[in-house]
Amino acid sequence: METMRAHVFHGVGRTSIEQVPIPEPKPGEALVRVTLTTICGTDLHIVRGEYPVKPGLVIGHEPVGVIAELGAGVTGYKVGERVLIGAITPCGQCRACLSGHLSQCGHGEGYEALGGWRFGNTINGAPAEYLIVPAAQANLAKIPDALTDEQVVLLADIASTGISGAESGGVRIGDTVAVFAQGPIGLCATAGAKLMGAALVIGIDRNPTRLETARRMGADVVVDARECDVVAEVRRLSGGGVDVAIEALGEQTTFEMALRVLRPGGTLSSLGVYSGKLQIPYEAFAAGIGDHRIVTTLCPGGKERMRRLMELVKHSRLDLTPLLTHHVSLEDIVEGYRIFGEQRDGVLKVAVKP
Ligand SMILES: [Zn+2]
Ligand SMILES: [Zn+2]
């Protein structure tokens, strides 16, 4: 049996590069030779034991590669074509998918919370020489020749997620938008708010390098949370409250601040992954009758989403390459995790080459 190198999760705090069998595509699947991937904050949660997956799983969910083999029934593709695959791989055929909730894709019958998130969660993921793509017909997005792997790899997850924060928030032309936290997802939410037509985008963080990058990604004003009363400052900048507040960290403090800067009738668009209990202070919520909307979104996936995001890059509306601050080989991925996890030397995203 032929083998390949893959980044395998063994248990809390333990991952390594292993030799594992090269999988074979079943009907409807595709085998992709991975040419570039990256490490996500969610992978850190997994390694730290904050999100459970089974030991032995290849973790990671942001693949770019080349089709190596097509399973029976996958049509319109050729071996050797370059493809981007979203972090979320909807089947396109279940009740959830056909109701438009692709990320909450079930397995045949009903809905399943986070069911569309399979790579590095319920099936093997991207940091490996080869990867099986489920529901390949719905998930292989051909990469235009003009685009490099580096230009598209961040579309699989963080750009799709970040931009969806602005989309789900219903940002309208002329809106004022505050984005809480300018990590990779928050930076993409900032770019998304700008793309959606916001007149004023306010980026908030505590890290000066990230605030600097926020300006490059489309923030008109940045607020350093170490230096001021954030809520008062954002309310002042927005003339009494923002139309849309995007939460991109997943903590009680930022969630609460996002609520407190919102105008009545405004939308809190939440992207963060929370743990434990999340509380809503009633006065910031106008006792529940302030016409506020709170919406949550899991990264949109599927090949049409990827195609649309690649169009943005192709036509120079979106450039994510400033976020790819570090590059490592698959052999050095554990070191990549360390740099990323400890937020060392200005890291935003680490590109990993198998
Ligand atoms: Zn992710
Ligand atoms: Zn589905």
329: CB partners within 8 A, 6+ apart = 352, 353, 354
What's the CA-to-centroid distance between 119 and ligand 1, angstroms? 10
Ligand nearest to the CA of 109: 2
DSSP string, 126-183: SSBSEEEETTHHHH-EEPPTT--HHHHGGGTTHHHHHHHHHHHTT--TT-EEEEE--S
What's the CA-to-centroid distance between 112 and ligand 2, angstroms? 9
The confidence score (pLDDT) of residue 112 equals 82
The confidence score (pLDDT) of residue 107 equals 72
Dihedral angle sign, alpha carbons of residues 49, 130, 306, 28: negative
pLDDT tens digits, one per residue of 204-222: 999 999 999 999 999 999 9
The confidence score (pLDDT) of residue 276 equals 82
**DSSP β-bridge partners for residue 37:** 352
pLDDT tens digits, one per residue of 100-128: 999 999 876 677 888 999 999 999 999 99
C-alpha R_g of the chain: 20
Ligand nearest to the CA of 107: 2
What's the CA-to-centroid distance between 39 and ligand 1, angstroms? 8
What's the CA-to-centroid distance between 44 and ligand 1, angstroms? 10
What's the CA-to-centroid distance between 303 and ligand 2, angstroms? 13
The confidence score (pLDDT) of residue 108 equals 67
pLDDT tens digits, one per residue of 288-303: 999 999 999 999 999 9
Does residue 230 have a pLDDT over 70? yes
Ligand nearest to the CA of 108: 2
What's the CA-to-centroid distance between 158 and ligand 1, angstroms? 6
The confidence score (pLDDT) of residue 275 equals 83
Ligand nearest to the CA of 60: 1
Higher-confidence position of 345 and 255: 255
Neighbours of 69 (CB within 10 A): 17
What's the CA-to-centroid distance between 120 and ligand 1, angstroms? 10
What's the CA-to-centroid distance between 116 and ligand 2, angstroms? 7
The confidence score (pLDDT) of residue 345 equals 86
What's the CA-to-centroid distance between 268 and ligand 2, angstroms? 27
What's the CA-to-centroid distance between 63 and ligand 1, angstroms? 11
Q: Answer for the pair 77, 67: CB distance below 8 angstroms, yes or no.
A: yes
Token representation of residue 176: 């004022």
Ligand nearest to the CA of 99: 2
What's the CA-to-centroid distance between 335 and ligand 1, angstroms? 18
What's the CA-to-centroid distance between 134 and ligand 2, angstroms? 11
Ligand nearest to the CA of 59: 1
The confidence score (pLDDT) of residue 111 equals 78
pLDDT tens digits, one per residue of 258-317: 999 999 999 999 999 888 899 999 999 999 999 999 999 999 999 999 999 999 999 999
Ligand nearest to the CA of 51: 1
pLDDT tens digits, one per residue of 329-343: 999 999 999 999 999
pLDDT tens digits, one per residue of 27-37: 999 999 999 99
214: CB partners within 8 A, 6+ apart = 179, 182, 186, 187, 190, 203, 205, 222
The confidence score (pLDDT) of residue 113 equals 83
What's the CA-to-centroid distance between 10 and ligand 2, angstroms? 29
Q: Please provide the average confidence, as pLDDT, over all residues in the chain.
A: 96
What's the CA-to-centroid distance between 167 and ligand 2, angstroms? 21
What's the CA-to-centroid distance between 181 and ligand 1, angstroms? 16
CA atoms of 254 and 183, how far apart (whole Å): 13
What's the CA-to-centroid distance between 47 and ligand 1, angstroms? 13
pLDDT tens digits, one per residue of 60-80: 999 999 999 999 999 999 999
pLDDT tens digits, one per residue of 135-178: 999 999 999 999 999 999 999 999 999 999 999 999 999 999 99
Ligand nearest to the CA of 183: 1
What's the CA-to-centroid distance between 61 and ligand 1, angstroms? 6
Neighbours of ion ligand 1 (CB under 5 A): 40, 42, 157
Token representation of residue 349: 């995203």
What's the CA-to-centroid distance between 72 and ligand 2, angstroms? 19
